[in-house]
């Protein structure tokens, strides 16, 4: 009997040790980052580069591993992250704006901007309007003139529904007033193939991927507020006379679920932007043509709520 009791006490002692506040010596073990897309995709690939430096002295101080949970356009992973991921700072998540915000508006998801806490932003990939290299169109104006003469005949591919490309399309169609047809391909690569092959008349695609394929494409405009350093000669949509802002830019960064202790969030938020800005990491991002834009937690919080307000209005007309 006594032995049993001693064992019980010992077990209790061990258990209470394990239940000690996690933040006391946080972080004392490797940290996971949930990516809602499969291995090899742009988000996965960039997340691996952006978190390379995490183990360094003065940064987070522990190595980061990637946990892929793909499915249903990211919904599966983000649902899991918001409802089941541990809230002790040992499971971070990668976000894609505007994707997850648009999905949380249109679908019945378990996540929204209120139950997720951003830590920092590493990249921003604007959508660009592209046509095949043999296309007769050389400017946005020519494309729109053709659309006016042939309502519905101008097909524009993108990486699926409620992703950055789709948002860019909706904005473009609304601002230009043209009757255009959106073709939701099964991913960015397939959407790009459609334009290169001439299957669709045009497409919205990632600036990074399109800039790499410049030999097979004509890039007509960038859906951002300013021209991009990779494509200094390509005008913005606004410069081309269509009033489209930067709401479709694909922002990527890290977040934790709401409910994570405030001091853990503060700790991570103070380290994450420096980790993204580490010299080697910046070099690797540049070498792989991944457009970087480092933002702090406060900047991301306001960016999220701006997008939330804008997308609610844009998508309201669709349902």
CB proximity list for 62: less than 8 A, separation 6 or greater: 27, 28, 29, 30, 31, 54, 55
Q: Which stretch binds another protein (CB under 8 A): 10-18, 120-128, 151-159, 242-250?
A: 151-159
Is 165:204 a contact under the CB 8 Å cutoff?
yes
Identified binder of another protein from the candidate list 146, 161, 174, 293, rule CB under 8 A: 161
Q: Which stretch binds another protein (CB under 8 A): 118-126, 181-189, 221-229, 296-304?
A: 181-189
Q: What number of CA atoms fall less than 13 Å from residue 83's CA on the CB side? A: 9
Q: What number of CA atoms fall less than 13 Å from residue 194's CA on the CB side? A: 24
Euclidean distance between CA atoms 121 and 294, whole angstroms: 5
Nearest to 195 by CA among 238, 230, 158, 250: 158
Nearer to another protein by Cβ, of 226 and 288: the residue is: 288
**What are the beta bridge partners of residue 228?**
231
Identified binder of another protein from the candidate list 55, 61, 63, 70, rule CB under 8 A: 70
Binding mask 208-227 for another protein (x = CB under 8 A): -x--xx-xx-----------
Q: Would you count residue 120 as binding another protein (CB under 8 A)?
A: no
Q: How many residues bind another protein (CB under 8 A)?
A: 51
Q: What number of CA atoms fall less than 13 Å from residue 62's CA on the CB side? A: 17
Smallest distance, another protein to C-beta of residue 299, A: 28
Q: Would you count residue 200 as binding another protein (CB under 8 A)?
A: yes
Nearer to another protein by Cβ, of 162 and 172: the residue is: 162
Q: Which stretch binds another protein (CB under 8 A): 6-14, 70-78, 232-240, 266-274?
A: 70-78
């Amino acid at each position: 009997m006594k032995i049993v009791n001693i064992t019980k006490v010992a077990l209790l002692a061990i258990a209470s040790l394990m239940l000690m506040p996690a933040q006391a010596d946080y972080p004392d073990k490797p940290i996971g980052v949930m990516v809602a897309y499969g291995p090899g995709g742009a988000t996965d690939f960039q997340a691996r580069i952006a978190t390379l430096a995490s183990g360094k002295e003065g940064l987070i101080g522990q190595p980061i591993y990637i946990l892929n949970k793909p499915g249903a356009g990211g919904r599966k992973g983000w649902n899991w992250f918001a409802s089941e991921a541990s809230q002790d700072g040992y499971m971070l998540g990668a976000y894609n704006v505007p994707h997850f915000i648009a999905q949380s508006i249109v679908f019945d998801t378990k996540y929204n901007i209120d139950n997720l806490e951003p830590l920092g932003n590493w990249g921003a990939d604007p959508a660009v309007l592209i046509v095949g290299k043999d296309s007769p169109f050389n400017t946005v104006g020519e494309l729109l003139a053709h659309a006016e003469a042939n309502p519905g005949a101008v097909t524009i591919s993108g990486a699926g529904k409620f992703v950055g490309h789709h948002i860019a399309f909706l904005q473009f169609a609304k601002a230009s007033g043209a009757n255009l047809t959106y073709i939701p391909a099964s991913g960015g690569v397939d959407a790009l193939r459609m334009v290169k092959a001439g299957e669709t008349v045009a497409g919205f695609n990632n600036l990074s991927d399109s800039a790499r394929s410049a030999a097979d494409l004509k890039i007509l405009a960038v859906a951002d507020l300013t021209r991009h350093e990779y494509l200094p000669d390509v005008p913005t949509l606004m410069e081309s006379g269509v009033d489209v802002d930067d709401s479709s830019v694909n922002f990527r960064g890290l977040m934790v679920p709401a409910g994570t202790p405030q001091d853990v969030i503060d700790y991570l938020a103070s380290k994450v932007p420096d980790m993204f800005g580490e010299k080697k990491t910046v070099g690797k991002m540049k070498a792989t043509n991944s457009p970087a834009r480092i933002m702090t937690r406060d900047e991301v919080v306001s960016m999220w709520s701006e997008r939330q307000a804008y997308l609610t209005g844009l998508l309201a007309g669709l349902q």
